[in-house]
Structure formats: C-alpha cells, structure tokens
Amino acid sequence: MTGVKVSPRNRLRLAASRVVHAATTRLPGAAAVRAARQAPGWVADGALAAGFLAAMLIEQAESAALPGARQPLALALSVVIAGALALRRQIPLTAYLAGSSALLAQALWAGPSTVAPYANLIGLYSVGLYAPRGRAWWGPVLAVPGVFVYVSGAWSAASASPAAGVLLSWLLAWAVGYGAARRREEQQAARQAMRRQAVAEERSRMARELHDLIGHTVNVMVVQAGAGRLVLDRDPAKTREILASLELTGRQALTELDRVLGVLRRDDPHPGDRAGTGAAGQPGLGSPLGEAGPAVPGIADLPALARRMTEAGIRVTVQIDPPSPPVARSVDLSAYRIVQEALTNAMKHGGARSASVTVRFDGRAVDIEVRDDGRGAPAGYQPGRGLLGIAERVSAFGGSLQHGGGGRGGFRLRAVLPVP
C-alpha cells in the first residue's frame, strides 16, 4: 500500500521479526540449540555483539532526529556498547562498566537508543553470572545510579515510576545470573567432593586387599620357615615337606597377588559382581577374571585355606552350610577375606593352636563365625588394621560385625553379610 508512513522504530521491529522468523523456519530448533551450545564462548559473544551493533547502526541510520554532527559520537558509543558484550565472559565487571558509561553518554549527548539498553541488561546479567562472588556484587551497586541517570537523560525529566520499573528489571537480571553462578559453584564443589571421596575409597580398598593378601601370606611363610629351621638337622624329611609347603604358599601368593593387582587396575573392582563358576564348578565361587586369569577365592576355598593354616601350625576346622552358597562374587570374596584375616590374627596375635570356622547361608545373609583358643582380647583393646579392614568390608554390604573375647577364652569374631 502507498501513502502509509511507517516509523523508523516500527521498521526496525519489522526487520528484526523477519530475521527471527527466517532463522526459526530455516533451521530446526534442536539443531540451532545444539550448534549454539557447541560454539566456543567467544564466538557466541562476538556474534551477540555484532548483532547488537548492527541493530544500533540500523536504528541510527533510520533515525531522522539525530543531528549529523552527533553521528560519529553515536557510532563510537555504539561500538563500545556492543564491544562490551564481546568481553562479558573475560572481564564481566569492566565490560559492564564500559558499556554502562557509553550508554549514559549516549542518552545524555547523542540521543537515547531503544536497542542499547538491552545490551546493558545482558551485561549486568553477565556480571552476576561470570564475575567472582566479591566482584559480582558491584553489579547492582553500579546499576542503581546508572538507571536513574539514564532515565533522567532519556526522558528529559526524572520519573520515579519508570525508573523503579527499569531498576527492578535490571536487578532481576543480575539476580538470575548471580543465582545461576552460585548453583554452578555448588555443583562443581559437589563433583569435587565426590571425586575426592571416590579416590579415598579406592585407596582404602587397595590397602585393604593388599593387607589381607600380603599380611596373611607373609605370616604363614614366616611360621613355616621357622618350623623348617627347627627340624632342619634332626628331620630332613619333615624339612623337605615344610619347604615344599613354603614354596607352594609362595606360588599361590604370587598368583593371588597378580589377580588382586589385575582387579585393582580395572574400573570395576568386582567385574560382573555376580555368581560365577569357580574351580569346583559350583555357583557363587570366584570365577576367572579372563579366559586364562586366576580364579577369585571364595567360600568354597576355605577348606584349602584351613589346610594351609594347619600346615603353618594352627589346626583349623571348617563347617560350611550349604557347601557352596549361591552368592554374588563380591560377597563370596569378602567372606573369604574376613575368614583369612581372622585366622591370621589368631595365629599372629593370639598365639592360637586351633580355630573353628562356621559359615551359614539362609538365603538372606552369610553368617560367618571364627573362634580360636588363643590369648583372647585384652581389656580395652583397640582394633588394628586387620579388624578395621574387616569392618570396612562388612560396612560396604550394610552388615554387622562383633568381635572380642570368646565365652570359653580365646577370641571370637562374627560377621553377617546381607545378600542383595
């Protein structure tokens, strides 16, 4: 239609709406959002600054009210306002201060703009979002006088009502950015705490596994070596038998150490964590880590452990009901380690000559009890690394642990491991 005049402001809004419509119709929404998220921050800020600069230049070109002498000043101030957006992540407070100064100068000496205030609004939001906590609080401090100066210059007379509304909008933008930054800090702190906890738990697990393995094996080998030394001269046959047992213990220790180190290098400390097929072909025993890997010890291996302890000088009897309980591999291994550590303590610290091991499984939990006839627990004793390691294993399954003097002397340990 001819004869209809369109104001510069309406032409600007019409052009902006056409640009938005073209962008939303030619690009799928998901692809546009994905591309924006993948773009580096400086690229996005540069594009934002360029868009605002183009909008301000179009506004100035279409405005007939701006004298020609003020055009260069308006252009320079527009460049500063838009350039502040390009630096809103690197130096948010400085960029906002520069953009606000240029915006006030524009309102006082070059004529107000309808586009520039929104760039300043984004700048204040960026102060709350990207500035450190202490510097971010300068945003509202600078915004309050800036808003009143801008309103008085843009509208020729200060009006309390518009100034209050504009100020509320600016402070709300800063508060949104500040809140998002604090939530991001809390999330980062939570992630760091979780990483530290995971590292601590992994170190504790590694120390527990190595202590249980090395401590038990070294104690058995020391006792066997001492027994061999005592009978070396008067019973060569017995010495050869002890040395053969010592060699077998050492080989088994190396095999198990290789298994433990292999498990510790994996992401999952108990690969599969399900009932496997052990050497005896029964469910619930330690299954191989790989096709040629050594088997993980479990409850069904306790009789072999008892034989080794008997050869080392402490007679051990084992009762398992049922003989091969169908439990997860992690429970199976932990039960074995608990008995192993309890027998090692009975031999090393209690000086026991005999011990009994009872393992029962009722479908809901594995009940482990180890008794010995050693010196028992002194009054006010404090658990050492071995008992602390057992407590950590039991706690990991949400079970219960009791240890102390037995009813007829010696030491008694009972652990209950719930089965998921």
Residues of the chain with pLDDT under 70: 1-39, 64-69, 153-162, 202, 259-295, 407
Per the structure block, which two tokens stand in for 260? 């433990």
Answer whether 202's CB lies under 8 Å from 263's CB. Answer: no
Q: What is the pLDDT of residue 3?
A: 44
Q: Quote the CA–CA distance of 404 and 353 in Å, as a whole number.
A: 18
User: Distance (Å, rounded) from C-alpha 362 to C-alpha 100?
Assistant: 75
The structure's pTM equals: 0.52
H helix or E strand, kind and range, residue 366: strand 365-372
What is the structure's pLDDT at 270?
A: 44
Q: How many C-beta atoms surround the C-beta of residue 363 within 10 A?
A: 8
pLDDT score at 34: 53
Domains plus CATH for the chain?
A: 8-194 (no CATH), 218-418 (3.30.565.10)
Per-residue confidence (pLDDT) for residue 249, from 0 to 100: 72
Give the residue among 236, 315, 323 at the shortest CA–CA distance from 278: 323
Q: What's the CA gap between 76 and 105, in Å, rounded? A: 11
pLDDT digits (tens, 9 = 90+) for 349-386: 888 889 999 999 998 999 999 999 888 877 777 888 78
pLDDT at 89: 92
